[in-house]
Structure 1
Amino acid sequence: MIYAFGNYELEPQRYELRCLDVVCDLEPQVLELLGYLVQHCDRVVTKQELFEHLWPTQFVSDATLHQRLTAARKAVGDNGREQHTIKTIRGRGYRFIASVETRAAASAETAAMARPSRPPNRLPRLVVEREHELTDLHHRFALAQGGQRQTVLISGEAGIGKTALVEAFAARLEGEAKPWTGYGQCIAQYGAGEAYRPVLEALGRLCRSPDGAPFLSLLRQHAPSWIAQMPTLLPVDERAQFAQALHSVTQTRLLRELTEALDILTTERPLVLVLEDLHWSDESTLEWLAYVARRRDPACLFVLGTHRPIEHLIPDHPLRTMVQELCLHGHGVEMKLDYLSEAGITAYLAHRLATSTPPIELARALHQRTSGNPLFLVAVVDDMTRQDRPASAVNRIDPLTMDIPESLRQFIAQQLDQLPALDQHLLEAASVAGATFCAEAVAAGMAQPTDSVESQCDTLARRGHFLRANGVEEWPDGSLTARYTFIHTLYQEVLIDRIPPSRLIRLHRHIGIRKESGYGQQARDIAAELAVHFRYSRDIERAVQYLRDAAQNALQRSAHQEAILHLRTGLELLPTLPDSPLWRQHELAMRTALGPALIATQGYTTPEVEHVYTRARELCESMGETTAYFPVLWGLWIFYNNRGSFDTARELADHLLRLAQQDDALLLQAYHALGNTLFWCGEFHAAQEVMDQAIALYDAEQHREQAFRYGGHDPAVCCFGHGAVGLWARGYPDQALQYSQHAVDLAQSLSHPSSLVHALGLAARVHVLRSEPDQVLACAERTIAIATEHGFIQPLATAKLRQGWVWVGRGRAAEGIDQIRQGVNRARSIGAANVLPVYLARLSEAYAQVGQVDEALTAIDDALATIRSCGVREYEAELYRLKGGYLLQLGQEAEAGRYLHRALHTAQHQHAKSWELRAATSLSRLWQSQGKREAARDLLAPVYDWFTEGFDTDDLQHARALLETLL
């Protein structure tokens, strides 16, 4: 059935909306919405009806529906204000109000006969007007041969010739230096893709190449964690052994291991690593690329990437940030490709038409109509020569009669329509299988013999029709099948948009089932891909399972962002399944995996962390689940502890202790939790006893996984780090330094970035307390580098705060205070009440240093209000002492004395001798000014005499200098 209204015709069966016989480019779901409204134009359609009939098994938000409705209105010349076609009935729904006529659609055979029968276009490799770029690439390759690693990122619009330039460069190298050359392709994903996918693809191709045996041997020796991710390269009896290399592997280790391996590999032979379409890359690949580009060690390595212009990417796209950073600091260069000039088109025509003097009018018309886009140009010239006319005949074509489509997408659609129906169906199935696909998967989608599909693909590839051959692929079940790649990803995009929903579902289902069968017990290796197939085939049960597996794969590689995307998608899908113990178990597992990933990337106190663990606790209690109960309670503890809800945190820590009595690994974490809570409550002696019990239970090898499962950092690192701050407070500044260094050394040995930034942050606190700004700055700068690389938001803000504190003392007051304020605001925004008083103290000290005493007092009062509201007592004595000092500067001597007394009594109550020494020193100095020299000496001397270490620290030296004036 065809529905006609105004200048438009809608044919739902073909998923086509036409305006004056021109097909409109619309997403399938927008066409579904428009079709449903047109077919029910006699009544109001409610929002709920649209959800239930159009997307019954998908989660579609109101915002998404609004976007699709806006797109439908725009397609038919309507808008939200005037509403001549689609009217919003407030409070009820929507109605299609334009006049609609219906008529029967032509049969498929009739429609096929009506279409022009033209052969599809061919895409030869264009290198005209690229000599400058080729020369530059060869120059940089020569530098790489000399040991100066090179990273070149080629950017340009789709179809501009990025891949053609890369292939022309590589072809010239084949006759010269004969380097190792590996190709990896990023592909568009519906969700988070497999971490390091293009890098793994490039390494796998190199290892399988005819001369790849030495490359494989070197990788086996120097990069076992990467070989473990490509098990098909290994004999069956060795796969389990190498799989151990992935056990608790960290992202830092993966980055360093491969980079160092490539440094060694390139001592024998240069390596060119090509990574295409980086705008679709997973974040882990971009992190590796940035890491290897910034490395300064010599290597004969040339990394060549292609991507679409960063100007067209969203502002927070990770590729945009990476390219800007690399180019800014001279770690890489961006080579921007422009469209062809009229002269370039003339040169292309001369080559293509085998004539030295192509018509100037033809070149000018082509330039005007294609804007010099190479993909347009090649397609148009192919179309002109489709009947194998001699060059002289082509030269006489009137340029004004050339039929150029309005957009490349529409033009590609026309090219596809010219193919036989069988080829169209094959390419549509292939587009579902991926930008790079194998014949076995497409055969499964089409329910056709594999050899028949291979033959059909070979024919298309030989003619350059949409596909090119891309080697062979072997699956774990022994299937050996040819692999192909779309010549341009736009072909895949257009094809997949043409497929009716019912067929799209079928294709995803058949391809997913066949790949699942082909990989068998190794199906988890391609979990992200299978999750996409089963999600879009509406096999939600399988999709959820593979999303969970894909998240685990990502977490094993410390690819937290990819893991979060997989887990969030899985959790969104679960409510569409009938409630059952199995799916509640899946939800629980995904939430317990999501919690640590969120903590590592967003911090301990974001609302999503609380929501994830609260729901997980409800599931545990409703299911009687005990195995997951401990990590779930731990997640809640870490949230409330860092939010400053210490009564709740203490209850949870006690509960953890009760659960852990029969298990040393759990007991370690329970002591970790309780000791940490006691520390923030100012119970330093009790906290030290508990944390020492945790340290006594700790074994680095046995408990290496704890950092991944609980809260994002290693328990012993945390206990040593917080123990160091506690030791300082109790009056042992030298032992505090030793504990602090031990925490940093342990974190480094674990190669766990989150633990290292945690240790460095606590080390910086110790150096602040010991008045050692050089060391504070060193810790802060090191933390900033690591946190920036791995996306650790809260540690980054804290490190910049401490950096600012040092800057203020070195004359950079405005910059420093601004950095401290930003750290305070970040802590306040995420509700990190446990650290807020300390941060506000740093801010008050900065204000006081520049003479802004009123602002300093305001910051201290804010800090004191925080400790009254949440009960964090760790810094309480110092806050009272600082306020007393500021009041004294304002001449309020009596009030200042009361706060100094309060600081002294608080420190004595906490048995915190370092805080007591500071308070006693300040109060004694006040009494000295009041003529109470003997009382001042009697107060300070016994506190000073208690100390047995740390006599080179500022606090003890100041106290001694004051005592000498009181004799």
Structure 2
Amino acid sequence: GQGSAVFLEGEAGTGKTSLARAFLNRALDDHKDLIAATGFSDPHTGLGDPHRPFREILRVLTGDVEAQWMAGSITTDLARRLWGLLPKTTETLLDVGPDLLGVLIPPEALAARLAATGLKSEKVGERLAQAPIQQGGDPDGRKQAALFEQYGQVVRQLSRVRPLLLVLEDLQWADSGSLDLLFQLGRRLEGSRILVLGLYRPSDVAIDRDGKRHPLQKVLNEFRGKSGDLRVSLDDPRDRSFTDAILDSHPNIFSDSFRKAFFERTQGNGLFATELLRELKEKGGVSTDESGVSKEGPNLDWTLLPTRIEAVIEERTSRLPGRLLRLLQVASVEGEYFTLEAIAQVLDREPHQLIQPLSGELEKQHHLVWLHGVHRVGDRRISVYRFRHILFQEFLYGQLDGAERAYLHERTARALEDLHQPRSNSQALQLARHFQEAGLTGESISYLLSAGHQARASGAFEQSLTLTRQARALLPGLPDSEEKDRTELEILTSLSVDAWILGLAIRDPDGILSRLREVSSIVGDEDRLFWALECEFSRHHFLGEPNRCREIVDEMEGLAAASRKPNRQMAWKVWRAFNALNRGYPAEALVSLQEISSELESKIHRDILAPWIRCPLPFIHSLKALALGPLGRPAEGHGCIEESYQLLENQHDPTCTLYVRLHDHLFSCLCRTAPGGVEKRPEPTRPHGEPGHEGWRGVFQFVRGYCSEEHGDPHTRAATLEDAIRLMDAGDWLAWRPYFGALQASVLGEIGRAEEGLEIVDGSLDRIEATGERFHEADVNRVRGEILGSVSTSRVDEAEDAFRRAVSIGRDQKAKLFELRATVSLARLLERSGRAKEGRRELSRCYKWFTEGFDFPDLKEARALLAELG
């Protein structure tokens, strides 16, 4: 029950993998109920290959180990343990990790393995056959968080049955999604029987990734903070124990002087030490007697031995026959892992002709490669080998000149395409790299887009954005043509979706949205052009620019009117109503939203609000609440919020849920916390850690901080609101900022910072004039009057003018709640000025209009003041 994580750090060749394997094998021998699984990251595809090491671990835990067992990569004993655990693993996936099926683990292959076990698993098999399978493609930012949560629950549940050892190799190459998953898993190890063993090169982690700190650093700091420094470094130049262990792996009588010289020569590098010992034996520097005991040989001369690992590798490979050296050079083009059948195609050989050279000579005799596994794609056998160490692969690849590399990359790509047909997209990242190195830009872009789509489908939006940006960077390599324009349009559309999910589209640093609109017009794709306008509308909405949004809505109208597609027409109506609300026309917005609700309830309109909101009706109902509240119908508005939540109960639409919660919070802020309001709602979540998400967090923090005014110290609330404003600034969230500024100013007035508050309110009014965001104009003027009245008695007339302006604006906008609120402030001011009857007359006339919402704070306050005024 003492779950933990340990990290092995060391540079290339220091023996991390060997030490990890030795530890794993000893642990399996010592603990007969232990389950072990290993996942790898790839230097060529790692950053864009979402969750690869954890996908591999999950495949192992679900018994997909026949290929590794046949190749000798895992023992028969471990394979049997994993196969025996398969029914329980499948049951656990169905119970607590259903979203992992179809995203991180193929359900069809899992069902086949389950049936093949022969164990009592019929009921589990039936459940698996009936389970809903995630197909991916719902681009909401919370999918990845749900996958992380479910993955953690699955391994924790399994650890209650069997202790788990999870090994993660080459974490320096892991994608950010895998490192985020490791980060989340690390927080849940306590109380489990899980040991995570991570391996990485510290020099690679010390290098920034895309101008930011390497994401593994955050993970290491998290573990260090919780459990202390659980790192084992193999780079200590003073520690001789590792090289002594290599020497002692066989019986010997080496002297201490030999051991010291051996260590000084290798500096503790495991690969160098292993290869140097082999070199010493071959050259007579070490001899072995009849009983198998090694000792210093008669020809020992340290000065004749290589001093660098590269020299050892060069000498090893130079002694190979030419046919084996050529075989390895061709294999090095594919990477650390390579495919026998692909190499055979490149060399125009039959696959069976390469089995003996690879498995017999290069694996067993020269110890340069080993068989990683064998599996089938359709009726084709795929035999995957791995270089004993990536330094051998890098050296051999470096021997090829540019022309030969390009030629071999193309041949390798064509071979891999052929081998994996009709599912060549499963190798999209590898194929994109090979085609790019071959100078075939079109094919590389196509596979990068395919890899990006797969990443997006699994919720790995950062990886999708990275891959699609790589595709965009290759565009200049294509000749100008209509096909190039269509390819660019596909790239820009993908980028725009990822940018919105990651919170980058408000800033639009890459100019995606404007270029998307331009290329859509060039190509004549009205669907993409309408989508580009929707993106621009959303961007300018978050920037708090309703006047610009109105211009975009007018452009949408032409496309909607010319289209026979009802969804496009419906979307235009939604954005028109949304914009009318923000510009201060709540009555007009409500009429449109009610019409839209009626249409949605009678028909099924999916994807009308951009592809990430799949269930529009809850969104529309919650938006109606924002119109109903100010219009003096808060109880009806509250009912719309509740109805929105009810509609979402049977829907899996996290993004729509997020917007409903946002509207719920804003409604509670407008209506000063309706009964059963914001404090009782769960904390809304939005994927964060990326630019842009600070804005969402800032808005939710602001509303919660403001709505707790009856229970919180005003100084604490002021600090909370100031922090929330800073978050909104960081996320470029400027929508509703005049209103938020006025509410912040009112709290500052409570703590003696009225002049500062007045400056903020005046800035809010200036922004209203500049942008046309008049929805809250009445209440902003009311707050200005409150602050003016508190600053000095000499400014009472200014305060009264501000209140009367607020009343007038509320009346013009039919915003009866804002009108009532301003009238209450005006009546109190008139009472203090000896004009109580006038104040009562004004308030009574406004209050009598209301027919509902009498339990809401504004109406309670107005009723109490009327009684007080007699």
Q: TM-score, normalising length from structure 1?
A: 0.76
Query: What is the CA–CA distance in structure 2 between the aligned matches of 1:642 and 1:496, rounded to whole Å?
Result: 50
Q: Which moved more, 1:786-795 or 1:727-736?
A: 786-795
Aligned to 2:241: 344
Whether 2:187 is the aligned partner of 1:277: answer no
1:631-780 matched pairs, under 5 angstroms:
631-656=531-556, 659-660=559-560, 662-698=564-600, 709-710=610-611, 715-743=616-644, 750-772=651-673
Give the letter aligned to residue 780 of structure 2: L
Alignment equivalent of 1:475, drawn from 370, 377, 381: 377
Question: Can you list the C-alpha shifts for 1:573-631, whole angstroms capped at 9, x where unaligned?
Answer: 2232122222222221221222121011124422347x323323333323332343332
Map 1:233-248 → 2, pairs under 5 A: 233=109, 245-248=134-137
Counterparts of residues 255-274 of structure 1 (less than 5 Å): 255-263=148-156, 265-266=158-159, 268-274=161-167
Instruction: Tell me the equivalent position of 1:583.
Output: 484
The match for 2:729 is 825
Q: 1:394 aligns with which of 296, 300, 307?
A: 296
Of structures 1 and 2, the one with the larger relative CO (CA 8 A, separation 6+) is 2
* 2:613–2:653 Cα contact (<8 Å) kept: no
* Matched letter for residue 285 of structure 1: S
Q: 1:154 & 1:751 partners in 2: Cα distance?
A: 40
CA contact (8 A) 2:503 2:691 kept: no
Q: Superposition pairs for residues 542-621 of structure 1, below 5 Å?
A: 542-608=443-509, 611-621=511-521
**Structure 1 residue 187 and structure 2 residue 42: aligned?**
yes
1:307 is the counterpart of 2:200: yes
SS at 1:730 equivalent: coil
Q: Structure 1 764/365 Cα, relative in aligned 2: closer, same or farther at 3 Å?
A: farther
The 3 A distance-change label for structure 1 pair 903 and 503 is: same
Counterpart of 1:316 (choices 191, 194, 213) is: 213
Correspondence for 1:849? 750
2:593·2:620 contact (CA, 8 Å) conserved in 1?
Answer: yes
Task: Out of 391-400 and 520-529, give the one that drifted further.
Answer: 391-400
Deviation of 1:402 (Å): 6.7
1:835 alignment counterpart = 736
Structure 2 distance, partners of 1:498, 1:714, is: 57
By how many angstroms is 1:824 displaced? 4.5
Query: Counterpart amino acid of 1:312?
Result: A
Residue of structure 2 equivalent to 1:116: none
Deviation at 1:903, TM superposition (A): 1.3
Q: Distance in 2 between matches of 1:494 and 1:747?
A: 57
Residue in 2 that maps onto 1:130 = none
The 1:939/1:205 distance shift into structure 2, 3 A limit, reads same
Q: Secondary structure at the match of 1:273?
A: strand
Does 320-329 or 410-419 show the bigger shift? 410-419
- State the alpha-carbon separation in 1 of the partners of residues 797 and 650 from structure 2: 53
Match of 1:954 in 2: 857
- Residues 348-382 of structure 1, C-alpha deviations (whole Å, 9 max, x = no match): 265146235x3223333344444433333333333
Distance in 1, Cα, partners of 2:6 & 2:382 = 34
CA RMSD between the two structures: 3.8
Counterpart code for 1:188: P
Shift of 1:904: 1.3
Amino acid at match of 1:812: T
How far did 1:934 drift? 0.8
Which residue in 1 is equivalent to 2:19?
A: 165
- 1:656-679 deviation digits (Å, cap 9, x = unpaired): 455456434334433332222122
Query: Is 1:377 equivalent to 2:262 in the alignment?
Result: no
Supply the distance in 1 between the matched residues of 2:756 and 2:172 (Cα, whole angstroms).
47
Pick aligned residue for 1:208 from 64, 67, 73:
64
The 3-state SS of whatever aligns with 1:517 is helix
Query: Residues 224 and 780 from structure 1, CA distance in 2 versus in 1: closer, same or farther, beyond 3 angstroms?
Result: closer
Distance in 2, matches of 1:287 and 1:844, equals: 39
Map of 1:842-881 to 2, 5 A cutoff? 842-881=743-782
Question: Are the equivalent residues in 2 in contact too, given 1:155–1:334 (CA < 8 A)?
Answer: no
Task: Give the AA of the match of 1:665.
Answer: N
User: Normalized against structure 2, the TM-score is what?
Assistant: 0.83
Letter in 2 for 1:344: S
Contact 1:757/1:795 (CA < 8 Å) preserved in 2?
Answer: no
Query: Counterpart in 2 of 1:360?
Result: 256
- The aligned runs of 1:7-156 (5 Å cut-off) are 143=1, 150-156=4-10
Residue 119 of structure 2 is matched in structure 1 by: none
Question: Residues of 2 paired with 1:582 and 1:200: CA distance?
Answer: 36
Q: Residues 227 and 233 of structure 1 are in contact (CA less than 8 Å); yes or no, is this contact kept in structure 2?
A: no
Contact 2:570 2:608 in 1 (8 A): no
Gaps of 5+ in 2: 66-78, 113-124, 289-293
Q: Which residue of 1 aligns with 2:72?
A: none
Report the Cα offset of residue 460 of structure 1.
2.1
Q: Separation in 2 of the partners of 1:473 and 1:671?
A: 54
- Answer yes or no: is the 8 Å Cα contact 2:567–2:607 preserved in 1: no
1:918 is aligned to 2:821: yes
1:190-246: per-residue Cα shift (whole Å, max 9, x none)? 68422222222333344333545566665497256545355572689x999999631
Deviations 1:796-816 (A, max 9, x none): 343455566569846436853
1:627-665 alpha-carbon deviations (Å, 9 max, x no partner) = 433323322222233334434423433454554564343
Distance 1:292 1:325, change over 3 A: same
* 632 and 814 in structure 1: CA distance in 2 versus 1, 3 angstrom threshold: closer
- Rounded to whole Å, the distance in 2 between the matches of 1:587 and 1:699 is 38
Residue 819 of structure 1 and its aligned partner are, at CA, apart by: 1.2
Instruction: Give distance in 2, aligned partners of 1:696 and 1:296.
Output: 50
Task: Confirm or deny: 8 A CA contact 1:824 1:840 kept in the other structure.
Answer: no
Distance 1:603 1:941, change over 3 A: farther
Q: 1:485 to 1:640 in 2, by over 3 A?
A: same
Distance 1:462 1:400, change over 3 A: closer
Residue 686 of structure 1: CA displacement? 2.0
Q: Partner of 1:390: helix, strand, or coil?
A: strand
Match status 1:623 vs 2:519: no
Between 566-575 and 645-654, the greater mean CA deviation after superposition: 645-654
Deviation at 1:749, TM superposition (A): 5.2
Contact kept, 8 Å, 2:9 with 2:233, in 1: the verdict is yes
Kept in 1, the 8 Å contact 2:11–2:201? The answer is yes
SS of 2:43's partner is coil
Instruction: Provide closer, same or farther for how the CA distance between residues 599 and 350 of structure 1 changes in structure 2, counting only shifts above 3 A.
Output: closer
2:22 partner amino acid: A
**In the alignment, is residue 335 of structure 1 matched against residue 231 of structure 2?**
yes
Alpha-carbon distance between aligned partners in 2 of 1:925 and 1:562, rounded to the nearest angstrom: 58
**Conserved in 2, the CA contact under 8 Å of 1:604 and 1:642?**
no
Q: Which among 878, 885, 892 is matched to residue 786 of structure 2?
A: 885
How far does residue 944 in structure 1 lie from its aligned partner after superposition?
A: 2.8
Question: Is the Cα contact below 8 Å between 2:702 and 2:724 reproduced in 1?
Answer: yes
Asked if 1 retains the 8 angstrom alpha-carbon contact of 2:9 and 2:235, the reply is no
Amino acid at match of 1:688: L
Q: 1:867 to 1:663 in 2, by over 3 A?
A: same
What is the 5 A alignment of 1:933-944? 933-944=836-847
What secondary structure is seen at the aligned counterpart in 1 of 2:502? helix
TM-superposed deviation, 1:933: 0.3
| 2:68 equivalent in structure 1 | none
Amino acid in structure 1 at the alignment position of 2:862:
A
**Alpha-carbon contact 1:278-1:305 (below 8 Å) kept:** yes
Letter of the 1:380 counterpart: L
